[in-house]
């Protein structure tokens, strides 16, 4: 067996053209829905598709209340706001994440603190979380406090990297013990399950994203998942300018966000939801093919953890070292096959360089060696 990666990927996608990392797929229903919003003029903040899309996501995930937003970052910002994160609070997340997780924390005036990821999930490691808390925090009544600064540690935000569910039971138990709210960054994990339960429905709040490169897309879009109906109601209220319903009066009872997803985007989302089960099957089949191909190749295929079912949003492999990673990236990209390294660790970005952090050994190792391979559904 030879390991010509380019040849293999070209055989999967059956094309000699450029192969992107992840491209959206649209059909007739998407066109009809979008056209309908234009023909009825309901492209913006009024229209039936937003409600329909929210109810579809609730049905699919089992979340009691889903609230659509303009993008995933806005959904995260809203989730943190709803969790009561305040200026100068600390929010623990993983160093290995997309920058949006930390940007949302920053937008609250809070500060991220970084812990390591687990080798099995590439997401927040419960052992690293507990170690960080034991070293740095104490519980005072119903609050978790950072010992040296006195700042409140308000939330923990694990992220299900590439759709692989994190160790949610362990993380949730730690959060309970330390009086911290659990918020899931499920932006990458629509269609991923932890012990049979959809990711994003275990934490108090969660955020999904429907950006163009995610499993389904609304152009731009996001969703807040709320564990309780009252929180869901309030989330809707504050994402829609906190307007108190009235036939004509404008009365707003708190400073709200204008984060509502436009009907135009939700129309696309409703059509995409019908295709989601097929996308997930196709992505699983693609992962099976990669798993087989990379067996014995010297590259380690990142598989789903034993405790869950991944949507395999982005497939990934580990190279021997950074030099091998760079060589592979160079080779594939110059062959017209889009492959990408993982994000630079958050504490290496200038705006988060001063943030608290635990030991990040696994994150450093993954950052140096990981390559994402094309993952559009086949």
Pairing verdict, β 90-94 and 111-115: parallel
**C-beta of 72 vs 341, nearer to ligand PLP:** 72
User: At closest approach, how far in Å is the CB of 178 from ligand PLP?
Assistant: 23
Restricting to residues 9-28, name those near ligand PLP by CB under 6 A.
none
203 binds ligand PLP (CB under 6 A): no
Query: Which residues, other chains included, contact 9 with Cβ-Cβ below 8 Å and sequence gap of 6+?
Result: 19, 332, 337, 373, 374
235 binds ligand PLP (CB under 6 A): no
Q: Tell which residue, 114, 73, 102, 108, has the closest CA to residue 88.
A: 108
Q: Among 50, 67, 92, 100, which residue sits at the site for ligand PLP (rule: CB under 6 A)?
A: 100
Q: Are 175 and 156 in contact (CB under 8 A)?
A: yes
Q: Binding ligand PLP by CB under 6 A: which of 199, 201, 209, 363?
A: 209
**Residue 178 or 193: which CB sits closer to ligand PLP?**
193
- Pairing, β 143-146 against β 137-140: antiparallel
The yes or no reply on residue 73 touching ligand PLP (CB under 6 A) is yes
Residue number, 211 or 375, with CB nearest to ligand PLP: 211
Instruction: Tell which residue, 4, 5, 12, 3, has the closest CA to residue 375.
Output: 12
- Provide DSSP, 190-238: TT-EETTEETTSSSSEEEEE--TTSSS--SS-EEEEESSHHHHHHHHHH
CA distances from 139 to 122, 209, 304 (A): 28, 33, 34
332 binds ligand PLP (CB under 6 A): no
Say whether residue 222 binds ligand PLP (CB under 6 A).
yes
Residue 205 neighbours by CB distance under 10 Å:
30
Name the minimum Å distance from CB 246 to ligand PLP: 32
Among 98, 293, 294, 312, binds ligand PLP (CB under 6 A): 98
Strand partners, 152: 145
Residues in contact with ligand PLP, counted by CB under 6 A, come to a total of 15
Q: Is 363 in the site for ligand PLP (CB under 6 A)?
A: no
Nearest-CB residue for ligand PLP: 72
- Write out the binding residues for ligand PLP, residues 138-167 only, by CB under 6 A: 159
Q: Is 185 among the residues that bind ligand PLP (CB under 6 A)? A: yes
Using CB under 6 A as the criterion, which residues of the chain lie in contact with ligand PLP when the complex forms?
71-73, 76, 97-98, 100-101, 159, 185, 187-188, 209, 211, 222
């Amino acid at each position: 067996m030879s390991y010509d990666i380019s040849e293999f990927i070209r055989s999967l996608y059956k094309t000699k053209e450029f192969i992107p990392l992840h491209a959206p797929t649209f059909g007739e229903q998407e066109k009809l829905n979008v056209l309908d919003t234009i023909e009825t003029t309901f492209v913006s903040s009024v229209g039936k598709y937003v409600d329909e899309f929210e109810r579809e996501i609730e049905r699919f995930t089992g979340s009691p209340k889903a609230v659509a937003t303009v993008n995933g970052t806005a959904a995260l910002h809203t989730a943190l706001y709803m969790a009561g994160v305040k200026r100068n609070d600390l929010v623990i997340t993983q160093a290995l994440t997309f920058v949006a997780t930390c940007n949302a924390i920053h937008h609250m005036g809070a500060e991220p603190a970084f812990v390591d990821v687990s080798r099995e999930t590439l997401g927040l490691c419960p052992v690293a979380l507990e170690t960080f808390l034991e070293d740095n925090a104490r519980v005072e009544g119903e609050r978790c406090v950072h010992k040296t600064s006195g700042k409140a540690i308000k939330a923990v935000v694990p992220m299900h990297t590439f759709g692989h569910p994190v160790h949610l039971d362990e993380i949730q138990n730690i959060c309970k013990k330390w009086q911290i709210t659990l918020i899931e960054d499920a932006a990458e994990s629509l269609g991923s399950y932890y012990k049979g339960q959809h990711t994003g429905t275990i934490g108090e709040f969660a955020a999904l994203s429907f950006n163009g490169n995610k499993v389904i897309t609304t152009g731009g879009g996001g969703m807040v998942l709320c564990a309780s109906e009252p929180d869901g109601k309030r989330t809707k209220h504050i994402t829609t300018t906190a307007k108190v319903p009235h036939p004509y009066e404008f009365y707003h009872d708190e400073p709200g966000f204008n984060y509502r997803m436009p009907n135009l985007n939700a129309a696309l989302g409703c059509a995409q939801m019908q295709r989601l089960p097929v996308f997930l099957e196709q992505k699983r089949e693609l992962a099976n093919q990669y798993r087989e191909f990379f067996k014995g190749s010297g590259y380690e295929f990142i598989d789903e953890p034993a405790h869950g079912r991944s949507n395999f949003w982005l497939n990934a492999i580990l190279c021997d070292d950074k030099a091998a990673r760079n060589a592979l990236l160079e080779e594939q990209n110059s062959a017209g096959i889009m492959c990408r390294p993982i994000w630079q660790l958050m504490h290496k970005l200038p705006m988060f360089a001063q943030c608290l952090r635990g030991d990040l050994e696994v994150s450093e190792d993954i950052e140096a060696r990981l390559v994402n391979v094309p993952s559009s559904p086949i």
